[in-house]
Amino acid sequence: MWLSKSFPSLKPLGSYIKDLKERLEFFSEWVAGGVPECLWINKFFFTHGFLTGALQNYARKYSIAIDTLGYDFKVVHDVPDDGKGVAAPEDGIHVVGMFLEGCKWDPKERALGESDPKILYTRCPMVHFMPTLKKDINTANIYACPLFKTGDRKGVLMTTGHSTNYVLDVKLPSNMPSAYWTKRGVAMLCALMT
């Protein structure tokens, strides 16, 4: 019953309360200290609105029509999982708080790699979401990895036209064709079940 008034979650009540407290702390720190250098995408209730806001900031800064913009992505290497100590980018946002399901990030290859045995989920490294003209977005040697709020991988369309669960495709470098990862069901999640 309480989930009908909440952010999407598959967690049991104890883990849900812990997640809720972490969300409140994140926003309290934001209010007290200003916009953080690194943003936890898994803390937002309306993730689509947050991502659209970042595009709007870029569009206003450079006087570009927002409907000509999309996101290109760059994995930020050699930073801690929490993103501490990394300066905010000039344009776009640094994002953490995502998990890869069905593969892992290979830091040596700087591309998606096979999961380690018996490991289903791995933490995704920090990703720079870079507002870019849609015509200039890189499509070579990437896997358009779908990002979901929960592991359900399904959702309901809201009146805004957005899904209650699907967020967007994060384009990650890959040494394999996209079909390779699609057949394995590779996706990114904002929240695990525990």
Q: What is the pLDDT of residue 109?
A: 94
Q: Are 174 and 181 in contact (CB under 8 A)?
A: yes
CA distance 21 to 168: 26
Residue-number span of the structural domain to which 124 is assigned: 10-189
Mean pLDDT by 10 residues, the chain (194 residues): 75 87 92 91 89 96 96 89 79 94 95 94 95 94 94 77 85 96 95 81
User: Hey, which residues does 147 pair with through a beta bridge?
Assistant: 168, 188
pLDDT given for residue 83 in this prediction: 67
Would residue 2 count as lying in a domain?
no
Res 1: pLDDT: 67
Q: Determine the pLDDT at residue 96.
A: 93
Determine, yes or no, domain membership for 64: yes
pLDDT score for 106: 95
CA-to-CA separations, 30 to 27, 33, 36, 53, 190, in angstroms, rounded: 5, 5, 6, 16, 19
Position 132 in a domain: yes
Residue 18 three-state SS? helix
**Structural domain contains residue 50:** yes
Q: What's the pLDDT at 14?
A: 87
Q: How far apart are CA 67 and CA 151, in angstroms?
A: 30
Q: Whole-prediction pTM value?
A: 0.88
Q: Number of folded domains in the chain?
A: 1
For residue 93, the domain's CATH number is 3.10.490.20
The pLDDT of residue 131 is: 97
Please indicate, yes or no, if residue 46 is contained in any of the structural domains: yes
Residue 5 lies in a domain: no
Q: Is residue 3 a part of any domain in this protein?
A: no
Is residue 165 within 8 A of residue 47, CB to CB? The reply is no
* Res 21: pLDDT: 93
What is residue 82's predicted lDDT score, i.e. its pLDDT? 67
Report pLDDT for 86: 83
Provide the pLDDT for residue 165.
86
Does 1 fall in a domain? no
